[in-house]
Chain A
Amino acid sequence: MADKRRIAATSGRVLTGVLGTAIFLGAALAVGQGELPVLAAAAPQTTVTPEASDQFRLCPGPLLRQGTDASAASFDQPAMTFAASSAPEQRALLAPDNVIGDRFGAPTVLSVTGSEAGERPQISAAQSQTADLDDLTGFAATACGEASAESWLVAGSTDVGRTTMLSLSNPSRADAVVDLSFFGETGAIQAPGAKGIIVPAGENRVLSVASFAPGVRTPVVQVQSAGGQVVAALQHSVTRGITPGGIELTLPTALPSRNQVLPGVVIDDTAPAPAGETYDDSISALRIFVPGSEQAQVNISFLSEQGSAAQPLNYSIQPGAVQEINLNELPAGSYSVVISSDMPLVASSRTTAVAGESSDFAWFGASAPLDDTIGLAVAPGEGATLHLANPTGSDLDVALTDGGGTATSVTVPAGASVAAPVSAGMAYSLSGVGGAHAQVTFNSDRGISAYAIQPTNPLATPVTVYPR
């Protein structure tokens, strides 16, 4: 009897045990292998379109000639083109550093006010000027830029015979306190007096880069402003011996990023070939600067507009020091340079071409991806070409409408770059360019020049706000 009870109890326990173990292991297996649907709350969000505001563009004004006493003086008037949704209001800034005064014009603010409908007003403008002096020749075209708090100028040189002038224009209503940081091929440059430069509201200041960073072949200037915002421009001119070697007026390149696109870098067939190992600033080059403290692995690829293939380059670039990469291996033609890196960097490219008896050079800046519809102002000049690079994954059908209403269709295949001829001094409206990068180049006997088309005020695009 007792035995029977014990057997019953034991078999009951064994049954419980087997059943329990099976359930437990089954549950563990189910949890381990099972795929439960995820119930995820959607983050509440709202897209805020900043209220339309007035749009400003600042054209840097006439080219300057540096006197023997390091003063700056204008010598001719630039030509200007603009494309705007309504007739812009023009306002010249005070330019006290220009000893000539405003005889040949001054940095000019073009502004359009927001329409009643809340549509964002559009404006784009460009200027160009040819220098034909004894010691200063060449063609310089530049876009009129937006004021910003931070900008990077990747251009210039303060080597012997090179003159680089930094123009800071403050179109805003508040005085700007500008901090300049200079970097060269040897690293950051200690520049006394480069911090706390006051640019009063509505004024333009011209500074000689050589006074902060003398003898630097490859300067990079970071401009940071507090209070008001400034438009920085760099005028770079070259004199080789006694022969003038060209002039260029450049606006800031795209801000540091892991991906940079320099559309439409033109390498003329007259570009000089390198002679020996010495540094020569007439050689086509890509100037790259990696801010920060970590080495960057950089991949540079070239999208040829002529269909020729160019080998991509791989570099590892030390941080803190400016580096130039020779592009003289590239055959003549125009390319869009696509740089990808594991660290943010800034980049710009310089090429030289023969112009008449002398030579001229151009700086091709990096540009940010464009909005879908932009206005485009082509500065007066010869050999104007619009370069469109499409690093996105889909083809772009771009409609190019000139001021007369004539539409031209351009297809930019994915991962390719195309060149489209445009009329100088003409305003265009581009649609379907979302994600593309654009540059306008001028290449003729009179000289070579380029300016990148930057998207309209990236700081006023709609923003997604999460209220939690």
Chain B
Amino acid sequence: MTASRARHSLDAMSPRVTAILVVHDGSGPAGPASLQGTLDALAAQSRQPDVVVAVACGAPAATTLVLEKGDIDRIVTSGERLHFGQALAAGIRVVGQPAGPDEFLWLLAQDTAPEPDALERLLGALEVAPSVAIAGPKLKDAADGSTIVSLGESVTRFGATVPLVEDELDQGQHDSVSDVLGVAPAGMLVRHTVWEQLGGFDPAFGSADDALDFCTRARLAGHRVTVVPSATVLTRSSGIAGPSRSNRPAARRKRARQTRGAQLYRRLVYAPAAVVWLHWLALLPLGILRGIRRVVGKQPGLVGSEIAAAFRVTFSLVRVMRARRNLQRSKQVGWSSLSALRIPAAEVHRRRRLRRDAGVAVYTVERSDLRFFTGGGAWLVLASALLGTALFFRLLAASGVEGGTLFPLSASVPDLWQNIGYGWRDIGLGFSGAADPFSALLAVLGTLTFWNPSYVLVLVTLLALPLATLGGWFAATRLTERSGYRLVAAVLWTVAPTFLSALGSGHVSGILVHLLLPWLFYTGCIAARSWGSAAVASMLLAATLASAPSLTPALLILWLVALAFSGRHLARVFWLIVPSAALFAPLVWQQGVVGQNWIHLLADPGVPLPSPSPTGWELVQGLPAGNPAWDAMTAALGLSGIPAHLLVPVLLTPLAVMALLALFLPGSSRAAVLLGTALLGLMTAAGASHLFLAVTGSSPVSIWPGSGLSLYWLGLVGASVVGFDSLRRAAAVPALVIGVLSLVVAVPIAASVATGNGQITASNGRTLPAYVAAAASVDPSLRTLILTPQPDGGISARIVSGVGDTLDNQSTLITTNPALTGDDKNVATLAGNLVSQGGPDPSAMVAEYGVQFVLLDSPPSLIGQDATSPAEEMANRAAVSLNANAVFAHVGPTDRGTLWRFEGETTPPAATGDVPFASTLVLGTLAIVFGFALLLAVPTAASRRAAEGRPRTIGRRPAEPAPRLTRAERAERNAAAEADRAVELALASESDEIDEREAHAAASNAERTGESAGNPNDAVERRPDALALSSTAESQDNHGR
């Protein structure tokens, strides 16, 4: 071998080839083994390179050893891991200056193994055409030896790199290509003189576009660049020469960053001098816009790459200037000479379309139709809507509702949004602090009915039943394909005792949780499948937790379990909790970290409402506040004692039996998870009913156990549906029985809601007397002292501002604070003296607090306890004392209590002060996080196609016989397949035509047909799994720009 090389070198007239071999570390798939392969391939060349120079960058001793054993003339070592371009420069430096145009450089990397005749053919191409300065081989994948990795590169009109051929099975279909804009760096043969003239690869490039840029400059210097399809080099694409083709997320991010960075850098270098600064200014805005587009395109991991690339290029002006000077120096011909080599927009679109169509064929599972209308779901929702209207007939014409924890919302949308985040809270005498996350949910809801924010609560109440049915039905589509069982699940979800109980007692957070949970299940259980689902689920989770923070422990456990099983989609599952964390962060900081009241974070938001404490057995039956409706009915029927208390449990037993039976049936893992969820819900409810965290007046208020019971019910119903699904047709009768029995349980509860025992009533939207409301409309800063006699003879004293309490302007920081603040003490002193006779003149204090009205509320009646006489006595005492007070004028009895007006002048309460930095920070974070989630959630064509590739259900899919099709359906299916084929053919012929127009050399028709058919087949072969679709779409995105 040495002899042959010597022979060539002796011949002065024959071309002289110097092979530069760049070697990195020896580990990994491109390690010593592949290096050895490359060395062997070099040794096997039919035309031996005259000199072989190896550049070892940061290579371990083993690698160096391999090199020394190999047939290498010079070894250049470098401690650093140089880029391909820098390593080449280091290698060429030792070669010396070229003596003539017949000296060539052959650029190789450790993982590029040329076929034996590669150099000969490349050299042949250069020798016959002196105008050709650069020749590139056909790069093929070393793994299979038949897939074309690169065969020439071009750019679009906007400068994005486009590989002329990519990921195609080599059937000789491209062997006619010759003149191209650029070639890949690996295996490139370049005239040494040209290399020196152009200054080699631009070191500013990483592994992307270095060769393309070099080729472009060669073209502009008047040389030609050709690709030699007959010369083949096998590459492992480990990222030394040209970008790595690894599919690992980190590699993808790096590739995206380098590709984009290279494109931007080239844009600045190539642009006319007059507009460089425009391009430069546009870098960052464009980077952000493209980042948003990445989010919408469900590639949130690449956002950082986009922005990093933009930043990097923004701050590499010096290199850009140097590169521009370099280009100017070598430039001989105009840019117009390249126009024929660029890829036209039509071709870019054609490729994109072909790729998409190629993806469509990759179905491993067939997604069934939703069958919402044909399966009866729509009719059930309609029936549920009618029932809901009947239950809340009295609210049809209402503009607001009240009762239970339902209070009006702030009167205007800006006010609603002012009550979120962190800042001044106008509660009591006011304080600076974190808002409950629930306020943010209310702000969103209130914005839906922007003309009257409170009206959304009417809608929620009126539409609660149909919305629950809809949610239940959709949640069931994740568990069963059978319409009948979906309907049963929807019914069971709608008539959940906890839901009806919340509707009856007006627990707004209980209602919202029950409406949100099925959707959280619907999206959350497929969060690992797609970014879109993960984003929607993350927002639903935030809304659910905002409504019922008591669900946090249970949902956190479920999240951790999901995280443990998320596998390679860890990021998607992890994201689920991010919006919730952002939403809760201010409160967690203030209540937990600063206040050390961690348990108070679980308190229900909104107005605390005492409710009867349920027994443990009632919780097991799903009843959050006892069962007054059934108790009343059994009492009316003359039943009492054990039999009466056993009725509901007996009626609900079949549901529990079915849920447990599902554990014994095939597909029990789904049932196990759902029953685990049910247990978590039950534990939450049991814990909640024992946690009296908030206080109203003298009574501590427990967390509403109904939220936990909704989760419990979700698990039970879900497990039952899994059972139905596993039993297939055999479960039809049990399902019907369970559905009917649950309806029986619900009837008395629903009837008591409808017949006036429901707490939710129409409201005029005021919580203070009209007199105060009128005054507040003139002076919104006025304050009212509300005195409420307590059952123990004490009195509660609260100060409210403006038009009074609103649902969005409540704070668990206040309701759970066990300590008396200075303001509390002052208000208490004022109130204590106002309800006592004599005493000092309260004018000063009243005026200081801006209290213009005093409202003596009627004593609150605790459930199961009559208004006791101590409360009445206190009410009398307060009324008498206020009547006798000369500074208060008795306005009279109102619908909200007895009202007095302060006769003196009040000082308006101090302004709320500056917006603290924390407020801006919190709002900004929320905007970014939720904006990100919203963008991720926007469905795109690609995401819809990806979803269609997955089954609708989750977990194990029971092996079902192929659905029996009617004759008509079979005919339809055949027709559809026929149509698909026709479209495919049409596309193929169309692409043929385009190819024909743009081909540089004539080729046989047979080869053409091969290419057009090759595209889809290729994709099928390479990635037979269902995920092929999304990755195809991604790679298309990467290269399409």
A residues whose Cβ falls under 8 Å from a Cβ of B: 13-14, 16-17, 20-21, 23-24, 27-28, 31-34, 36-55, 148-150, 172-174, 226-229, 255, 257-258, 344, 457-468
Contacts and interface: CB of A to CB of B under 8 A. Distances in A.
A68 to B, nearest CB: 39
Contact of A458 (B599, B794, B825, B877): B877
A466 B663 contact: no
Given A21-B660, A51-B840, A467-B827, A41 B869 contact: no
Contacts of A23: 679
Q: Which of A21, A33, A226, A228 has the most CB of B within 10 A?
A: A21
7 residue pairs, one from A and one from B, having the closest CB atoms: A48-B832, A53-B838, A464-B794, A50-B836, A17-B664, A40-B692, A467-B824
A466 B819 contact: no
A458 B881 CA distance: 11
A20 B679 CA distance: 11
Q: Is the interface of A mostly helix, strand, loop or mixed?
A: mixed
Given A43-B695, A47-B832, 8 more contacts: A16-B663, A21-B660, A39-B599, A51-B838, A53-B840, A228-B884, A229-B880, A459-B881
Given A41-B816, A468-B798, A460 B838 contact: yes
A468 B884 contact: no
Nearest to B821: A467
B833 A13 contact: no
A205 to B, nearest CB: 19
B675 A468 contact: no
B449 interface: no
B790 interface: yes
B620 interface: yes
Given A28-B682, A464-B795, A46 B824 contact: yes
A53 B793 CA distance: 22
A108 B683 CA distance: 70
Nearest to B796: A466
B529 interface: no
A255 B697 contact: no
Q: Residue among A20, A21, A42, A55 with the most chain B CB within 10 A? A: A20
Residue among A23, A28, A48, A255 with most chain B CB within 10 A? A48
Contacts of B660: 17, 20-21, 24
Nearest to A20: B663
B839 A460 contact: yes
B830 to A, nearest CB: 9
Interface string B1012-1031: 00000000000000000000
Contacts of B663: 13, 16-17, 20-21
B540 interface: no
B698 interface: yes
Nearest to B890: A226
Interface string B657-701: 000110111101001100100110011001100111111111110
A38 B833 contact: no
B700 A46 contact: no
A39 B691 contact: yes
Interface of B: 599, 615-617, 619-620, 660-661, 663-666, 668, 671-672, 675, 678-679, 682-683, 686-687, 690-700, 790, 792-798, 814-820, 824-825, 827-829, 831-833, 835-840, 869, 874, 876-877, 879-881, 883-884, 886, 890
Nearest to B659: A24
Contact of B796 (A36, A49, A50, A465): A465
A49 B825 CA distance: 12
12 contacts: A28-B620, A32-B616, A38-B690, A39-B693, A41-B818, A46-B828, A48-B832, A51-B840, A149-B879, A149-B884, A173-B886, A465-B796
A463 B700 contact: no
Nearest to A457: B837
Given A38-B690, A174-B886, A43 B697 contact: yes
Contacts of B836: 48, 50, 459-461, 463
Given A28-B620, A459-B836, A13 B668 contact: yes
B679 A24 contact: yes
Given A50-B838, A51-B840, A344-B869, A466 B697 contact: yes
Contacts of B874: 463
Contacts of B678: 24
A226 B888 CA distance: 12
B817 A43 contact: no
A446 to B, nearest CB: 37
A56 to B, nearest CB: 9
A150 B881 CA distance: 11
Nearest to B603: A41
Contacts of A460: 836-839
Contacts of A227: 883
A53 B839 contact: yes
B695 A468 contact: yes
Contacts of A464: 698, 790, 792-795
Nearest to A38: B690
B738 to A, nearest CB: 17
Contacts of A463: 794-795, 832, 835-836, 874, 877
A44 B832 contact: no
Nearest to A466: B796
Contact of A13 (B617, B665, B686): B665
A32 B664 contact: no
Contact of B682 (A13, A31, A36, A257): A31
* Residue among A39, A47, A228, A229 facing the most chain B CB atoms (10 A cut-off): A39
A41 B616 contact: no
Given A20-B660, A464-B795, A468-B815, A42 B682 contact: no
B838 A44 contact: no
Given A13-B668, A27-B682, A457-B837, A40 B700 contact: yes
Nearest to B600: A41
Given A32-B617, A46-B828, A48-B829, A39 B837 contact: no
A467 B837 contact: no
Nearest to A14: B664
A39 B694 CA distance: 11
Given A13-B663, A50-B836, A459-B877, A41 B797 contact: no
A405 B484 CA distance: 93
B790 A466 contact: yes
A52 B886 CA distance: 17
A229 B837 CA distance: 11
B506 to A, nearest CB: 20
B679 A36 contact: no
* Interface-centre pick from B816, B839, B879 (highest chain A CB count, 10 A): B839
Nearest to B833: A50
Contacts of B833: 48, 50-51
Given A16-B663, A468-B695, A468-B697, A44 B818 contact: yes
A43 B874 CA distance: 18
A316 to B, nearest CB: 20
A44 B792 CA distance: 14
Contacts of B840: 51, 53
Contacts of B671: 20
Contacts of A226: 883, 890
A174 B619 CA distance: 58
B675 A20 contact: yes
A44 B883 contact: no
A224 to B, nearest CB: 9
Contact of B619 (A31, A148, A462, A468): A31
A42 B620 CA distance: 28
B716 to A, nearest CB: 10
Nearest to B872: A344
Contacts of A50: 832-833, 836-839
Contact of A38 (B665, B692, B831): B692
Contact of A465 (B687, B795, B815): B795
A149 B700 CA distance: 34
B675 A24 contact: yes
Contacts of A174: 884, 886
A131 to B, nearest CB: 34
B693 A41 contact: yes
